[in-house]
């Protein structure tokens, strides 16, 4: 024991001396740990089987710059790491999609902060309800990232918790190949570090043993509470292959039973460096079971959204203008590219260097063109690329790169507005120039005159704006019908959501009850209409009704059985949304109609999660039945 005490003292000293770099600043909550401790005590909970269909989870991205909008995280890098994120979680059965458009925030106090308390008002004002909120900033409390919050029941938060993630935008933390985002989402779904309780130079009262012998192991009682993750005391970053002499500690670590510590470098929740061999790339089976269990027990609010339509993008964008090697007016550059099938948005970047790290233009648009007015004059080093994506597809390559130069800048700004709704045969062009010296003259090719021209057929129109001092600005304007506006009004218990595509973003909403948001909640029974207007004034209307109970089974929505198929022993979750507040029964039947189990359940209005523990069921097809009042819901369960 003296040897062990000496080791612990030396280890503590090393931890205090060595500084942290690229560390995680998550303050893992006692409530989460208590939930996880109870979860692992039931062996059936740890029998993980991935569902045949992925569970779609909404991710709300917030990209933060300083007060003047500098320092945004790269939109192209965002798509790359989201693609990697879904790869990391594929075995878990989770698939992340964009809940809403990327939210750009200009706030120096959020961009660089040292405490989550100071930024709480801004987080409360910007976070999306019932989604995983992730903020990309320059300096989140000196760390690579952290998760703050803690779900207690059905998505509720601990007192004072805000339930969000902060990610350092640097390549060392959020660049391609880095696991910081996956690591913090692991915390969000209940996972502690494998070296839990060693953080910050602390020495736990009950260090984890290396042994996994059921007679002596303590892996389900301490540290991360998992027995399929190796004992790990390394809260400093380290690189594989493990060699104690080459790592920050400089000596071999042993557990209280005298066995050497040999941590697993492949675990995403550990601190092995991404540059090691092997590198972090996975979650263990017990970790995956816990994340699924926590979702079904504490985060069912994430499942209340209608599942997005998954449409893969298989083509890259083709750039149209500027042409390769051309010279354009510095303060009016019309970037154009062809539409990509299934793409709803595009990452657009203009760089001044080969590596696309100096980015005077880095934004996300839904159109196939973008007018840029902030490029420096007389610069021959601009590079332009576009990457298509949609709500669920992030893995498409960027386009080829076009290089172009800027000439001089004109003092005139055109303030161009085009309108060509899909259901109209003619469009219009309006110019409201500023800058230079009025009055302005408009020299059109084709015999038009004035600053507003209407009744135009589809095509390309050229005009030069001239001011009183002889300054000019030539414009080439494409005028074609927008993609048709399409509207679907989605219905949930007491809520309606307008899903819009086509036209020109941003959209505005006007509901018949006076609300102006995309989603409206806490609705009484009745019929509701919504009119959607796009950025150019094109409109579309839709209608939907909130109804009472009509037919058996209609009281339930967003029903999920997970995992399905499942193993013969384990836990199956039944998640559903309802407007009912009643007592009911949950039953399991075999394909002969014989009842295997039945228990009473209390059903509440909103999202509900129930579990069924199964033991040694033969392979086959089973029916899960939920009875509530006059309604019966049946769902098929396959046991492998």
Percent of the chain exceeding pLDDT 70 equals 92
Return the half-sphere exposure (C-beta side, CA atoms, 13 A cut-off) of residue 464: 10
CA angle 137, 142, 143 (to 5 degrees): 75
Backbone angles phi, psi at 273, to 5 degrees: -70, 150
pLDDT band at 21, cuts 50/70/90? low
Per-residue pLDDT reduced to its tens digit, 303-322 = 878 778 789 999 999 999 99
Round to whole Å and give the CA distance between 247 and 239. Answer: 7
Q: How far apart are CA 178 and CA 526, in angstroms?
A: 50
Q: How far is the C-alpha of 117 from the C-alpha of 112, rounded, in Å?
A: 13
The pLDDT, as a whole number, for residue 559 is 81
Q: Is the pLDDT of residue 17 over 50?
A: no
User: Residue 421: pLDDT above 90?
Assistant: yes
CB atoms within 10 A of CB 16: 10
Name the strand (E) or helix (H) holding 61: strand 55-65
The answer to whether residue 45 scores a pLDDT higher than 70 is: yes
Cα distances (angstroms) measured from residue 256 to each of 2, 54, 157, 185:
11, 42, 37, 32
- Cα–Cα distance for residue pair 576/559, rounded to 1 Å: 4
Q: What is the pLDDT of residues 180-198, one digit of tens each?
A: 999 999 999 999 999 999 9
pLDDT per position as a tens digit, 605-628: 777 888 888 888 888 778 888 887
* Cα gap 465→451, rounded to integer Å: 9
pLDDT of residue 150: 59
Q: Concatenated DSSP letters for 127-188?
A: PPTTSEEEEEESEETTSSEEEE--B-STT-B-TT---EEEEE-SHHHHSTT--HHHHHHHHH
Q: Of 42, 35, 89, which is closest to residue 570 (Cα–Cα)? A: 42
- Rounded to whole angstroms, the Cα distance separating 478 from 199 reads 59
Domains in the chain, ordered, with CATH? 2-302 (3.40.390.10), 310-413 (2.60.40.10), 425-473 (no CATH), 486-546 (2.60.40.10), 556-639 (2.60.40.1930)
CA 579 – CA 523 distance, rounded (Å): 12
* pLDDT tens digit sequence for 204-214: 999 999 999 99
CA distance 371 to 476: 11
Helix 75-88 × helix 180-188 angle, to 10°: 60
Q: Tell me the per-residue pLDDT of 423-459, one tens digit each, with 9 for 90 and over.
A: 899 999 999 999 999 999 999 998 899 999 999 999 9
pLDDT in tens, 107-148: 999 999 998 878 988 998 899 988 999 999 999 999 999 999
CA distance 640 to 638: 6
What stretch of H or E contains 430?
A: strand 427-431
pLDDT digits (tens, 9 = 90+) for 403-420: 999 999 999 999 999 999
């Amino acid at each position: 024991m003296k040897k062990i005490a000496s080791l612990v003292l030396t280890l503590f000293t090393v931890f205090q001396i060595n500084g942290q770099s690229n560390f995680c600043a998550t303050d893992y909550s006692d409530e989460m740990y208590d939930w996880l401790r109870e979860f692992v005590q039931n062996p059936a909970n740890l029998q993980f089987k991935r569902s045949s269909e992925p569970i779609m989870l909404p991710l709300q991205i917030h990209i933060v710059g300083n007060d003047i909008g500098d320092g945004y995280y790269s939109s192209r890098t965002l798509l790359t790491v989201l693609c990697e994120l879904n790869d990391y979680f594929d075995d878990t059965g989770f698939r992340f999609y964009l809940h809403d458009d990327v939210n750009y925030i200009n706030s120096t106090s959020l961009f660089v902060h040292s405490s989550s308390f100071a930024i709480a008002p801004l987080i409360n004002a910007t976070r999306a309800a019932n989604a995983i909120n992730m903020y990309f900033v320059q300096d989140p409390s000196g760390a690579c990232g952290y998760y703050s919050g803690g779900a207690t029941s059905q998505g509720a938060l601990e007192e004072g918790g805000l339930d969000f993630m902060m990610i350092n935008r640097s390549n060392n933390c959020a660049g391609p190949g880095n696991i910081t985002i996956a690591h913090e989402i692991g915390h969000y779904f209940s996972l502690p570090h494998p070296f839990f309780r060693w953080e910050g130079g602390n020495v736990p009262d009950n260090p984890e043993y290396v042994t996994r012998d059921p007679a002596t192991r303590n892996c389900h009682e301490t540290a991360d509470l998992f027995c399929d993750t190796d004992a790990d005391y390394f809260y400093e970053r380290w690189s594989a292959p493990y060699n104690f002499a080459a790592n920050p500690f400089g000596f071999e670590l042993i557990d209280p039973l005298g066995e050497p510590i040999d941590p697993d470098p492949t675990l995403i929740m550990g601190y092995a460096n991404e540059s090691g061999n092997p590198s972090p790339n996975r979650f263990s089976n017990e970790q995956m079971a816990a994340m699924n269990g926590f979702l079904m027990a504490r985060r069912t609010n994430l499942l209340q959204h209608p599942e997005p339509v998954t449409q893969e993008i298989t083509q890259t964008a083709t750039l149209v203008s500027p042409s390769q090697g051309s010279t354009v007016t510095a303060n009016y550059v019309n970037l154009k590219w062809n539409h990509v099938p299934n793409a709803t948005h595009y990452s657009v970047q203009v760089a001044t260097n080969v590596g696309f790290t100096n980015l005077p233009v880095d934004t996300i648009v839904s159109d196939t063109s973008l007018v840029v007015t902030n490029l420096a004059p007389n610069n021959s080093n601009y590079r332009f690329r576009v990457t298509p994506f949609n709500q669920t597809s992030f893995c498409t390559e960027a386009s080829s790169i076009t290089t172009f130069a800027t000439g001089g800048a004109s003092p005139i700004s055109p303030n161009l507005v085009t309108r060509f709704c899909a259901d109209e045969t003619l469009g219009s062009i309006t110019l409201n120039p500023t800058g230079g010296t009025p009055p302005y003259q408009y020299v059109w090719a084709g015999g038009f005159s004035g600053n507003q021209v209407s009744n135009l057929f589809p095509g390309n129109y050229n005009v030069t704006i001239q001011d009183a001092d002889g300054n000019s600005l030539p414009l080439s304007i494409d005028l074609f019908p927008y993609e048709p506006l399409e509207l679907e009004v989605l219905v949930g218990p007491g809520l309606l959501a307008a899903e819009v595509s086509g036209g020109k973003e941003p959209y505005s909403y006007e509901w018949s009850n006076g609300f102006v948001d995309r989603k409206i909640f806490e609705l009484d029974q009745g019929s509701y209409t919504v009119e959607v207007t796009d950025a150019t004034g094109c409109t579309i209307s839709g209608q939907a009704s909130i109804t009472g109970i009509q037919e058996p089974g209609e009281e339930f929505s967003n029903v999920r059985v997970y995992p399905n198929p499942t193993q013969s022993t384990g836990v199956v979750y039944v998640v559903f949304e309802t407007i009912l507040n009643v007592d009911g029964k949950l039953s399991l039947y075999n394909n002969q109609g014989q009842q295997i189990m039945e228990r009473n359940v209390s059903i509440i209005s909103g999202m509900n999660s129930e579990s069924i523990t199964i033991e040694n069921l033969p392979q086959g097809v089973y029916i899960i039945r939920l009875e509530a009042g006059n309604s019966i819901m049946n769902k098929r369960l396959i046991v492998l």
